[in-house]
Structure 1
């Protein structure tokens, strides 16, 4: 019998092989697998995993819905990365199956997390592509675009701060939301860089078509 290939590589039932918790490169997400991270917690049903992700504000990193989460957890179970632990019922609601991560799933998850953190991915940044071509814009248009980006970065910073405050209120250990403090640091660095570029443009220190840009009054 030939081993089936899965979008999530997993231990082959016929032979021992290395495990990576991943999808094809074109479909990778910032987290190795949202259900996988949730499944690393105590046994839970997919909807509880979904609620855990919302509490962590993981929906800002990975597009998620209860329906897709049920499907993905089913795929993880199919390939031996999580397993059913039982069922539970609350009131008149239908029974829900709870899942727990397996030893193979935990090792695969850890391996993929290590890879994502340690290895640069060379992902394309649309912002950097735009910066590389910004010279095609007139000076006023370039300034307006950078000012809009600065406003958006400031909004992202406030969103990150609000998310962190919300997470702190529920008492979640910081190791589970380092991505939010990283995102806040990136937003603050981008704000400082953009403000500096705009200041240089307004002062005429950054040449643009040989003209000086009039800053805001």
Structure 2
């Protein structure tokens, strides 16, 4: 069973930056791009803070207001939170659980779509992957050019997160290129003898 990622990440930031406002937890996780690879959206981050406080894993350090800004709550990790965080990190580090790939369903349904449409979609997929890899490689260079100090820039380990995402995309890109070639050459033909009735536009 996987570790609740947003919960673990919120604990990590509270532990690293305590005492810390919820807004700063959110800002830090967005700088790690956790909204894309962990689906750590603002609502789930604030929800996690409330849950962690209710469970006694973090505690309110204080509530204050800075100028005209809205009132903010400051959090600190508790001893129970330290133990929970350590357990979660160890579980995550040793995990080999693979994410559920949303494209698996589409591949299983190739015969239900016209062959030409599948080919066009695969070609488009290749172009989008190539563009995304260019963007991610640029992001890695930008992050590594910074200090790596979390107080002023994205930590350098964020570049490793991006590299992991890029490697997954490269594997997907290689599969897509090979599948396109197999369909174009006739090696992969799920339409000739298919019992499916292709969808119509």
Q: TM-score range by the shorter chain?
A: 0.7 to 0.9
Match of 1:193 in 2: 175
Match of 1:164 in 2: 140
Residue pair 2:7, 2:48 contacting (<8 A) in 1 also: no
Match of 1:62 among 39, 45, 57: 39
Length-normalised TM-score, structure 2: 0.73
Paired with 1:126 and 1:75, the residues of 2 have a C-alpha distance of 29
Matches within 5 A, 1:11-26: none
Paired with 2:32 and 2:71, the residues of 1 have a C-alpha distance of 26
CA RMSD of aligned residues (A): 3.0
Cα-to-partner distance string for 1:93-141 (whole Å, 9 max, x where unaligned): 3443321222321221232233234334465322112212223333212
Residue pair 2:126, 2:177 contacting (<8 A) in 1 also: yes
Cα-to-partner distance string for 1:58-113 (whole Å, 9 max, x where unaligned): 12132422x55334312211211112233554333344332122232122123223
Q: Give, in angstroms, the shift of residue 142 of structure 1.
A: 1.9
Match of 1:145 in 2: 121
- Structure 1 stretches lacking a partner, 5+ long: 1-19, 23-27, 211-217
Q: How many residues in Structure 1 have an aligned counterpart in Structure 2?
A: 184
Rate the CA distance shift 1:150–1:135 in 2: closer, same or farther, 3 A: same
- The question of 1:41 aligning with 2:16 is answered yes
Q: Which protein, 1 or 2, shows the higher relative CO under an 8 Å CA cutoff with sep ≥ 6?
A: 2
- Structure 2 stretches lacking a partner, 5+ long: 149-153, 193-201
Structure with bigger helix share is: 2
Residue pair 2:2, 2:97 contacting (<8 A) in 1 also: no
- The question of 1:174 aligning with 2:156 is answered yes
Paired with 1:21 and 1:142, the residues of 2 have a C-alpha distance of 33
Match of 2:199 in 1: none
Rate the CA distance shift 1:41–1:125 in 2: closer, same or farther, 3 A: same
Match of 2:81 in 1: 105
